Copies of this chain bind each other. A is one copy, B any other.
């Protein structure tokens, strides 16, 4: 009973719509049979897919809506025609009403963020949500944020990202004091964007009890796993994530080409087949699909729009883990402590 997680799904989101969302839910249910699903979308498209999956259908409820947020809509447009009634909005509303523990959408990121902010509201002291994801590294996994929820960030927002990211790392990785780095284009204190330097100064001086600030990190430090939490604003974070995914795919193609070039390489491939299978799984971007929206009064997972059923199932499972780990409650209390510290610091300065 404690492990039963209720998942609200935007069935119309993503490049492939209901086909991927429903098959993804089926895979997630197979892994965790105690899950429950609440689908929001066009019943003419979703119902037949559920009918074809009796086990999933039993665990699911379908709420019909004709309105879907287009992948290329501006957030303001999406709010205008999609508020109260789109599949994306209804999935978020289900979390707000307590009908679901988590909402998962592969839809338009900007619209999802705007709607989530509107319907779920931000945590006290947080201005803008962030998208955080688990990034596979040579040491295990790191948390990287923001991956595109908002573009640009002032120093205070970067510090909030550090606090939220560290809280996430404490919970997901079970660390007492995760290491945190600010993504920059050089490790020297004089380099880089002004807000990044200023955020570094604040983090050094505040010496927060819950995180261990390690200074600036560069793009190649992410995969190295130099810190548990990598903090950056959304534009460069999104570019880093997509570039890493592209490079991993490129390496996969190179390996494939190299292993078919000669007879002896092909023989070698046969011997090492299971090693290659492991390798392929390890560098499969679908495995780490799903970003957690942080900073909201409610749990929302953004899946890649272009993923397949397996990738979508990974996003659902990520949401499940976040719910069971009570991430939200723990982030809220970490933020309370941080903002309380700031209040005291300001009070001290004023007195």
Q: Which residues of A come within 8 Å of B, CB atoms?
A: 71-74, 109-110, 137-138, 148, 151-152, 183, 185-186, 188-193, 218-224, 232, 234-236, 238-251, 253-255, 258-259, 261-262, 264-265, 267-276, 278-279, 282-283
Contact = CB atoms under 8 A, between A and B. Distances in A.
Contacts of A259: 272, 275
Contacts of A282: 254, 258
A269 to B, nearest CB: 6
Interface-central residue, A183, A247, A269, by most chain B CB under 10 Å: A247
6 tightest A-B contacts by CB? A219-B242, A268-B272, A268-B271, A220-B246, A219-B243, A265-B275
A198 to B, nearest CB: 14
Given A219-B238, A239-B183, A261 B245 contact: no
15 contacts: A185-B235, A219-B240, A219-B244, A223-B243, A224-B249, A239-B239, A239-B240, A240-B243, A244-B247, A247-B247, A251-B283, A254-B279, A255-B255, A267-B271, A268-B269
B191 A219 contact: no
B239 A261 contact: no
A137 B246 CA distance: 10
A220 B235 contact: no
A88 B42 CA distance: 65
B258 A265 contact: no
Contact of A248 (B137, B185, B247, B264): B247
A247 B242 CA distance: 11
A262 B221 CA distance: 29
Given A71-B188, A219-B241, A219-B243, A261 B275 contact: yes
Contact of A110 (B191, B251, B283): B191
Nearest to A77: B190
